[in-house]
Amino acid sequence: MINRTVSVAPMMGWTDRHARYFLRLISQHALLYTEMVTTGAILRGQRDDLLRYHAEEHPLAIQLGGSEPRELAECSRIAEQHGFDEINLNVGCPSDRVQSGMFGACLMAKPELVAQCVEAMRQDVSIPVTVKCRIGIDDMDSYAAFEQFVDAVAGAGCDVFIVHARKAWLQGLSPKQNRDIPPLQYDYVYRLKQQRPELTVVINGGVKSHDDIAEHLQQVDGVMLGREAYHNPFVLSGIDQQFYGSDAPPRSREQVLGLLMDYIEQEMQAGARLHDITRHIHGLYHGQPGARAWRRKLSTEAHKPGADSRLIQFRDCA
């Protein structure tokens, strides 16, 4: 059974396999999510590359983007065969590209279709199928509309809802603006859990600290961190001890980098580029003396011929 107390959101362009391995070095228990992977990319693209991950990343969920039940079912089977622990359906991304593919947040307006997708996916796999959604879209932003969506999808057997506690504007706002401008409405998510206690409800949006996590956990089953976990990844330090009861001491930043150096060496030997890994770690020393010089070193030198894992050492910048 997956422990959803704390998780890190699927973030396009960010939560690739290198970023996830790095985050796993900080927290051994938080649930990690892949970037959204479309059904078309899995069925007609470089499947093995898209679904590649390191065994250390578990527990690990894959997020799928799509709206055709048969294709989602087939991709779910493939994902289970590749060893993922959960399959999540994206019903929250508001980008134009996602809308044009008829998936993401626009599916909030089609609860019966989402229910059909979930039912098809669940029939073909034994691992959990979950949904990540918004509280609404455009003018469909009442609690009643949100509740109607959840009821339809829950009726198809989905019992885990990860809710970004903002609505999305499908026209007029960019994806970035949709992460900031619509106000957070945590009360919708809290109310859902109160009214549907049999559901597992995970809240997402605006979470920045352990105190935030602890406060939300008084109302819901789990908390998902998004951009904060990427820009300030050491926010995950101590998560295992505070929320999972781990007796192991949290790793220091230096210990994390030491382990990451070994990973970098292995990956570079297999053909990975240094920059593809180091671009994800810029926030590790967020707020610490020397952080700016370290980030500058990573940005300017990771592309250079001969650069290797030693580049990420911090001691020369402090």
Instruction: Give the model confidence (pLDDT) of 214-260 as tens digits.
Output: 999 999 999 999 999 999 999 999 999 999 999 999 999 999 999 99
Asked whether the beta carbons of 82 and 51 are under 8 A apart, the reply is yes
Q: Which residues contact 216 (CB under 8 A, 6 or more apart)?
A: 186, 203, 207, 223
Give, as one character, the DSSP assignment of residue 315.
Answer: T
Q: How many residues would you count in the chain?
A: 318
Task: Please tell me which residue in 93, 117, 133, 158 is annotated as part of the active site.
Answer: 93
Residue 43 above 90 pLDDT? yes
Q: Which residues pair with 224 in a beta bridge?
A: 7, 204
What residue ranges of the chain are covered by domains with CATH 3.20.20.70? 6-244
CA distances from 166 to 44, 147, 206 (A): 33, 14, 10
The per-residue pLDDT of the chain, averaged, comes to 95
What residue ranges of the chain are covered by domains with CATH 1.20.120? 253-312
Give the DSSP per-residue string, 118-149.
HHHHHHH-SS-EEEEEES-BTTB-SHHHHHHH
Of residues 176 and 251, which shows the higher confidence score?
A: 251
Q: Is 93 a catalytic residue?
A: yes
Task: Say whether the peptide bond before residue 59 is cis (omega within 30 degrees of 0).
Answer: yes
pLDDT in tens, 97-118: 655 567 888 999 999 999 999 9
pTM of the model: 0.95
| CA gap 300, 272 in Å, rounded | 18
Q: What angle do CA 109, 110, 111 make, to 5 degrees?
A: 105
Asked whether the beta carbons of 204 and 135 are under 8 A apart, the reply is no
In this prediction, residue 312 carries a pLDDT of 96
Least trusted range by pLDDT, from 58-67, 92-101, 171-180, 299-308: 92-101
Tokens 């206690």 appear where? 197
Fold of 253-312: Four Helix Bundle (Hemerythrin (Met), subunit A) (1.20.120)
Percent of the chain with pLDDT over 90: 88
The mean pLDDT of 49-72, rounded to a whole number, is 97
In this prediction, residue 27 carries a pLDDT of 98
pLDDT in tens, 277-314: 999 999 999 999 999 999 999 999 999 999 999 999 99
| CA gap 111, 278 in Å, rounded | 40
The mean pLDDT of 89-98, rounded to a whole number, is 82
Residue 172 above 90 pLDDT? no
Amino acid at 3: N
CA distances from 251 to 23, 27, 276 (A): 12, 9, 23
Q: Is the dihedral of CA 102, 104, 110, 114 positive or negative?
A: positive
Fold of 6-244: TIM Barrel (3.20.20)
The continuous run of DSSP H or E covering 26 comes out as: helix 17-26
- Reference 134, options 39, 237, 204, 223; nearest CA is 204
Per-residue tokens: 273: 């580029």
- Reference 276, options 302, 258, 297; nearest CA is 302
In this prediction, residue 318 carries a pLDDT of 62
Confidence of residue 170 (pLDDT cuts 50, 70, 90): confident
